Amino acid sequence: MKKYILTGLLVWLPLAITIWVLMHVLGTLDGVFAAVIVAAQTVLPASLRPMLQELRDIPGLSVIIVIGVLWLTGLAVTNIAGQWLLTQSNRVLSNIPIVKSIYTSVKQVSDTLFSSSGQAFRQAVLVQYPRAGSYTIAFVTGKPSGEVAHHLPDDMLTLYVPTTPNPTSGFMLMVPRADVVELHMSVDEALKYIISMGVVAPPPSAHGDGLPPSLPANGPTTQS
Protein backbone atom coordinates (compact mmCIF):
# COMPACT_ATOMS: atom_id res chain seq x y z
CA MET A 1 0.00 0.00 0.00
CA LYS A 2 2.86 2.38 0.84
CA LYS A 3 4.42 1.69 -2.55
CA TYR A 4 1.25 2.59 -4.42
CA ILE A 5 0.75 5.75 -2.35
CA LEU A 6 4.28 6.92 -3.13
CA THR A 7 3.77 6.11 -6.81
CA GLY A 8 0.58 8.15 -6.86
CA LEU A 9 2.37 10.99 -5.07
CA LEU A 10 5.08 11.05 -7.72
CA VAL A 11 2.38 11.32 -10.39
CA TRP A 12 0.41 14.15 -8.79
CA LEU A 13 3.15 16.15 -7.03
CA PRO A 14 4.69 17.80 -10.16
CA LEU A 15 1.23 18.77 -11.44
CA ALA A 16 0.15 20.12 -8.05
CA ILE A 17 3.30 22.21 -7.65
CA THR A 18 2.96 23.53 -11.21
CA ILE A 19 -0.65 24.58 -10.59
CA TRP A 20 0.30 26.15 -7.25
CA VAL A 21 3.10 28.22 -8.81
CA LEU A 22 0.86 29.38 -11.67
CA MET A 23 -1.94 30.30 -9.27
CA HIS A 24 0.52 32.23 -7.11
CA VAL A 25 1.82 34.16 -10.12
CA LEU A 26 -1.71 34.87 -11.37
CA GLY A 27 -2.78 36.00 -7.90
CA THR A 28 0.15 38.39 -7.68
CA LEU A 29 -0.56 39.87 -11.12
CA ASP A 30 -4.27 40.19 -10.34
CA GLY A 31 -3.41 41.99 -7.09
CA VAL A 32 -1.19 44.49 -8.88
CA PHE A 33 -3.82 44.96 -11.60
CA ALA A 34 -6.51 45.57 -8.98
CA ALA A 35 -4.33 48.21 -7.29
CA VAL A 36 -3.88 49.96 -10.64
CA ILE A 37 -7.64 49.89 -11.23
CA VAL A 38 -8.32 51.40 -7.80
CA ALA A 39 -5.78 54.15 -8.45
CA ALA A 40 -7.33 54.84 -11.89
CA GLN A 41 -10.82 55.11 -10.40
CA THR A 42 -9.69 58.02 -8.24
CA VAL A 43 -8.52 60.14 -11.17
CA LEU A 44 -10.87 59.14 -14.01
CA PRO A 45 -14.42 60.47 -14.44
CA ALA A 46 -17.18 58.71 -12.51
CA SER A 47 -18.79 57.53 -15.75
CA LEU A 48 -15.80 55.26 -16.44
CA ARG A 49 -15.63 53.68 -12.98
CA PRO A 50 -18.25 50.93 -13.62
CA MET A 51 -16.32 49.82 -16.72
CA LEU A 52 -13.07 49.68 -14.72
CA GLN A 53 -14.79 47.60 -12.07
CA GLU A 54 -15.96 45.13 -14.71
CA LEU A 55 -12.40 44.84 -16.02
CA ARG A 56 -11.18 44.18 -12.48
CA ASP A 57 -13.53 41.20 -12.16
CA ILE A 58 -12.25 39.46 -15.31
CA PRO A 59 -9.91 36.64 -14.19
CA GLY A 60 -6.58 36.38 -15.96
CA LEU A 61 -6.92 39.76 -17.68
CA SER A 62 -3.78 40.96 -15.90
CA VAL A 63 -1.73 38.28 -17.68
CA ILE A 64 -2.96 39.42 -21.09
CA ILE A 65 -2.19 43.04 -20.20
CA VAL A 66 1.32 42.19 -18.97
CA ILE A 67 2.07 40.25 -22.15
CA GLY A 68 0.69 43.12 -24.23
CA VAL A 69 2.77 45.71 -22.36
CA LEU A 70 5.92 43.62 -22.77
CA TRP A 71 5.27 43.19 -26.49
CA LEU A 72 4.57 46.90 -27.01
CA THR A 73 7.68 47.82 -25.01
CA GLY A 74 9.85 45.50 -27.06
CA LEU A 75 8.34 46.90 -30.25
CA ALA A 76 8.88 50.48 -29.12
CA VAL A 77 12.56 50.16 -28.22
CA THR A 78 13.46 48.73 -31.65
CA ASN A 79 13.26 52.19 -33.27
CA ILE A 80 15.36 55.31 -32.77
CA ALA A 81 12.83 57.17 -30.64
CA GLY A 82 12.34 54.19 -28.33
CA GLN A 83 16.08 53.70 -27.97
CA TRP A 84 16.48 57.38 -27.06
CA LEU A 85 13.75 57.19 -24.42
CA LEU A 86 15.28 54.00 -23.00
CA THR A 87 18.71 55.62 -22.81
CA GLN A 88 17.32 58.68 -21.07
CA SER A 89 15.35 56.63 -18.54
CA ASN A 90 18.43 54.50 -17.79
CA ARG A 91 20.45 57.65 -17.26
CA VAL A 92 17.87 59.10 -14.86
CA LEU A 93 17.53 55.90 -12.83
CA SER A 94 21.31 55.46 -12.73
CA ASN A 95 21.70 58.86 -11.04
CA ILE A 96 19.18 58.38 -8.23
CA PRO A 97 20.83 57.43 -4.91
CA ILE A 98 20.00 53.93 -3.61
CA VAL A 99 17.87 53.28 -6.69
CA LYS A 100 20.91 53.29 -8.96
CA SER A 101 22.61 50.52 -6.96
CA ILE A 102 19.62 48.19 -7.27
CA TYR A 103 18.67 49.13 -10.83
CA THR A 104 22.20 48.94 -12.24
CA SER A 105 22.91 45.57 -10.64
CA VAL A 106 19.64 44.01 -11.82
CA LYS A 107 20.08 45.47 -15.32
CA GLN A 108 23.59 44.06 -15.67
CA VAL A 109 22.44 40.60 -14.59
CA SER A 110 19.33 40.62 -16.80
CA ASP A 111 21.30 41.88 -19.81
CA THR A 112 23.82 39.10 -19.30
CA LEU A 113 21.25 36.34 -18.87
CA PHE A 114 18.65 37.30 -21.46
CA SER A 115 20.60 39.14 -24.13
CA SER A 116 20.62 37.29 -27.44
CA SER A 117 24.32 38.10 -27.80
CA GLY A 118 25.25 37.03 -24.30
CA GLN A 119 27.15 33.87 -23.40
CA ALA A 120 25.57 33.11 -20.03
CA PHE A 121 24.37 29.56 -19.53
CA ARG A 122 25.22 28.65 -23.11
CA GLN A 123 27.30 25.59 -22.23
CA ALA A 124 27.37 22.95 -19.51
CA VAL A 125 30.78 21.79 -18.34
CA LEU A 126 32.33 19.48 -15.78
CA VAL A 127 34.74 20.92 -13.22
CA GLN A 128 36.52 19.62 -10.13
CA TYR A 129 34.77 21.22 -7.14
CA PRO A 130 34.93 21.62 -4.15
CA ARG A 131 38.18 19.61 -4.17
CA ALA A 132 40.36 17.75 -6.62
CA GLY A 133 38.82 14.42 -7.61
CA SER A 134 35.27 15.60 -6.86
CA TYR A 135 33.31 16.72 -9.94
CA THR A 136 30.26 18.91 -10.38
CA ILE A 137 28.33 20.41 -13.28
CA ALA A 138 28.80 24.11 -13.96
CA PHE A 139 27.79 26.62 -16.64
CA VAL A 140 30.14 28.86 -18.56
CA THR A 141 29.20 32.53 -18.12
CA GLY A 142 32.15 34.10 -19.92
CA LYS A 143 35.71 35.14 -19.16
CA PRO A 144 37.04 37.25 -16.26
CA SER A 145 37.01 40.96 -17.08
CA GLY A 146 37.89 44.30 -15.55
CA GLU A 147 40.40 44.54 -12.71
CA VAL A 148 40.11 40.84 -11.92
CA ALA A 149 41.33 39.87 -15.38
CA HIS A 150 44.61 41.74 -14.84
CA HIS A 151 45.50 39.47 -11.90
CA LEU A 152 44.72 36.19 -13.68
CA PRO A 153 46.21 34.26 -16.59
CA ASP A 154 44.69 34.84 -20.02
CA ASP A 155 43.21 31.38 -20.51
CA MET A 156 40.57 31.50 -17.75
CA LEU A 157 36.80 30.92 -17.71
CA THR A 158 34.11 32.22 -15.39
CA LEU A 159 31.77 29.46 -14.23
CA TYR A 160 28.54 29.36 -12.29
CA VAL A 161 28.14 26.31 -10.06
CA PRO A 162 24.45 25.91 -9.09
CA THR A 163 23.31 24.27 -5.88
CA THR A 164 20.96 21.30 -5.64
CA PRO A 165 17.96 21.19 -5.81
CA ASN A 166 17.67 25.00 -6.10
CA PRO A 167 19.83 26.14 -9.04
CA THR A 168 19.04 29.84 -8.48
CA SER A 169 21.72 29.98 -5.80
CA GLY A 170 25.28 28.88 -6.29
CA PHE A 171 28.92 29.89 -6.57
CA MET A 172 31.01 31.78 -9.10
CA LEU A 173 34.37 30.24 -9.97
CA MET A 174 37.22 31.43 -12.17
CA VAL A 175 39.23 28.42 -13.32
CA PRO A 176 41.76 27.65 -16.06
CA ARG A 177 40.25 26.44 -19.29
CA ALA A 178 42.42 23.33 -19.06
CA ASP A 179 40.55 22.25 -15.90
CA VAL A 180 37.14 22.42 -17.58
CA VAL A 181 35.63 19.47 -19.45
CA GLU A 182 33.02 20.34 -22.06
CA LEU A 183 29.82 18.30 -21.88
CA HIS A 184 27.67 17.29 -24.83
CA MET A 185 24.43 17.62 -22.87
CA SER A 186 22.32 20.73 -23.35
CA VAL A 187 21.84 23.37 -20.66
CA ASP A 188 18.25 22.16 -20.09
CA GLU A 189 19.43 18.58 -19.60
CA ALA A 190 22.12 19.72 -17.18
CA LEU A 191 19.59 21.74 -15.16
CA LYS A 192 17.26 18.75 -14.93
CA TYR A 193 20.17 16.61 -13.78
CA ILE A 194 21.05 19.15 -11.07
CA ILE A 195 17.50 19.79 -9.86
CA SER A 196 16.77 16.05 -9.62
CA MET A 197 19.96 15.58 -7.53
CA GLY A 198 21.35 13.25 -10.18
CA VAL A 199 18.26 11.05 -10.47
CA VAL A 200 17.08 12.24 -13.91
CA ALA A 201 20.18 11.58 -15.99
CA PRO A 202 20.44 12.94 -19.55
CA PRO A 203 20.49 10.43 -22.41
CA PRO A 204 23.88 9.00 -23.43
CA SER A 205 25.88 11.06 -25.87
CA ALA A 206 27.00 10.00 -29.31
CA HIS A 207 30.23 8.65 -27.79
CA GLY A 208 28.31 5.73 -26.31
CA ASP A 209 29.38 5.99 -22.67
CA GLY A 210 27.70 9.33 -21.95
CA LEU A 211 31.04 11.07 -21.24
CA PRO A 212 33.09 13.24 -23.57
CA PRO A 213 36.35 11.69 -24.75
CA SER A 214 38.35 14.40 -22.94
CA LEU A 215 37.53 12.96 -19.49
CA PRO A 216 40.08 10.28 -18.56
CA ALA A 217 40.01 8.21 -15.42
CA ASN A 218 42.28 10.57 -13.45
CA GLY A 219 40.77 13.91 -14.43
CA PRO A 220 40.49 16.39 -17.31
CA THR A 221 43.19 17.05 -19.82
CA THR A 222 44.18 20.27 -21.51
CA GLN A 223 41.82 21.24 -24.31
CA SER A 224 42.69 23.41 -27.24
Amino acid identity of 49? R
Q: What is the mean pLDDT of the chain?
A: 79
Answer with the one of 58, 93, 114 that is the final residue of a domain: 114
- Does 140 score more than 80 pLDDT? yes
**pLDDT-based confidence at residue 100 (cuts at 50, 70, 90):** confident
Range from 36-40, 117-121, 175-179 that averages highest in pLDDT = 175-179
Q: Is residue 105, in this structure, part of any structural domain at all?
A: yes
Lowest mean pLDDT segment, chosen from 25-29, 41-45, 138-142, 203-207:
203-207
Mean pLDDT in residue range 40-49: 76
* Partner residues linked to 157 by β-bridges: 175
- Does 80 score more than 50 pLDDT? yes
More confident site: 49 or 192: 192
Residues 24 and 82 in one domain: yes
Residues 187 and 129 in one domain: yes
How many domains does one find in the chain? Answer: 2
Residues 157 and 59 in one domain: no
Residues 47 and 145 in one domain: no
Residues 102 and 25 in one domain: yes
Residues 26 and 110 in one domain: yes
Helix axes 49-56, 2-43, angle to 10 degrees: 170
Quote the domain boundaries for residue 11: 2-114
Q: Is residue 51, in this structure, part of any structural domain at all?
A: yes
Residues 50 and 139 in one domain: no
**pLDDT-based confidence at residue 205 (cuts at 50, 70, 90):** low
- Does 214 score more than 60 pLDDT? no
